[in-house]
Structure 1
Amino acid sequence: MYNYYQKTKHHMNDFIIRKLNRDEMKTAIAWADKEGWNPGVHDEECFYNADPNGFFALLVNDKIVSIISAVKYDNNYGFIGFYIVDPEHRGKGYGIAIWQKAMEYLNGKVIGLDGVPEQVENYKKSGFVYAHRNITYKGISKTTSVVKQLKDLNSNDFSMIKNFDIKYMPDTRDSFLKCWLSQDDSHIIGIEENGKLRAYGKIRKCYEGYKIGPVFAETDELASSIFYGLQNKIPETSEFTIDIPEGNEFSLNMAKSCSMEYFFETARMYKGEIKKLPINNIYGITTYELG
């Protein structure tokens, strides 16, 4: 059985690594916001539901100084996120210690992460291989007419969305998805044809503005309808972002055509082999924190 508690002597300080509890997820979200990652205002519940055992804190003198998530998907995949050390405690080895705990927890699984570019070489030392960039674009929403018939979706559409979602993800993520589809201050829309889902996307309220993600679609035309349809769900001239895999040229050009500007980027990396994902049909990823 995995031991969540570890006490070790390091740099003349005792530290303890343990699971984050549900209430402490507020700390993880606040730290992510402080780093400029702009999480959703209600993300903590869905993130925690994805894997309540997969969030860790490193404490010194009962104070949290480092956090990380190592979320297990339903089968053979996991994702590392929320890897943050309090700026006052960086350079003391706490980041390495909690990183090792996350890797131990996901041992035996294929692992993904979105890392800042300057850490790519360090992640390679742990066996991760660079896949591609994910690029955040920021812009101002505009109300537009949408040609395709859009349908509002929610948790009642779980089975249909799950069967579509898995085409664009390395693994199923039922617990997360059930919460994600009923999250407050968010809108989910899709396009159905002949009783079959062909595209869907979500926009949610964040600490600053709104964020689109994911956008999965079978064609560029469908993706465009979802992209503009989601903007219609929020007040006009609202600030919003979308995180786009660099291999999807249509989505990158669509963002630029809306006068969206480059804001941030990460390096998507994997340890182990995942199935080949259809990047040309992934117009926006779900989150940087959970993949």
Structure 2
Amino acid sequence: MSAPRSELKNTSYEIFIGVLSVLSIFNLVLVYAFVKDPGLQQILNVMNALFSGIFLGDFLYRIFTAPSASAYFFRHFGWADLLASLPFPQAKILRVFRLVRVSRLLRQLGIRAVWNTIVRDRANSALLVLLLMGILVLEFGSLAILRIEQYAPGANITSASDALWYVIVTISTVGYGDQYPVTDRGRLVGTIVIVVGVGIFGTFTGYLANLFLAPRKGDRTPAPAEESTDAAAAAVSDAPDAASVTDAAPVAPEPAADTATVDELRGLLAESEASLARMKAVLGGR
């Protein structure tokens, strides 16, 4: 009897959702830690809305592709995924239900399987790491640049929208220049964001190029050994029948006797004639 199908998806995807769940819970802690700073609160609320959108899409994806939608919702804690993805600010405390997803992932796959997947499936793992890194830089880069710049003299990054806009423009390597840091610490944060952004987009471009330009598994060219085998088979099929070649070819004459053998025979005959001559001479003398 086959084992029941699980609603778990690709292991790399599960790892991505699990890490994002942990990050969202850490984000929830930051919401209560920065409760007195409205600018930082606004950035965290924007990131919470982003997480809610991702988790809601994950819930819909799972319930529509699960072997049994009711089994996923009631037996595999789909209700917890739904509650944790509600995009309302009053429901952000329900984000702790994402721990259910993380615990199920570790229980069904295990730490070793997770690590083996990261090592084995390097292309997908690299793509998901890039997505996570982009989210991390967007959130913590915005928090850092706003915390450093908002009260500096002559600063032009003074609100959450300014900080988010600056990080997005910088990480995408566009660099409009309308928002820029004026403090040394702010410029250090900007440098880190620039370096990470170049790495993210460079790696992502290479991944897309490899994805679209790599030959498909079914479109491989025949190997040289296969080509030579096909050519030999074609040559054999085009060759005339052996029987027809034998019938058409003239019968070759048998080769003459070897010259050395003829000379030996001639020598033996000469010796015989000499012996007969001597015998006649002896008989005639009597």
Choose between structure 1 and 2: higher strand proportion: 1
Choose between structure 1 and 2: higher helix proportion: 2
Structure with more contact order per residue of length (Cα contacts < 8 Å, sep ≥ 6): 1
**TM-score, normalised to structure 2's length?**
0.28
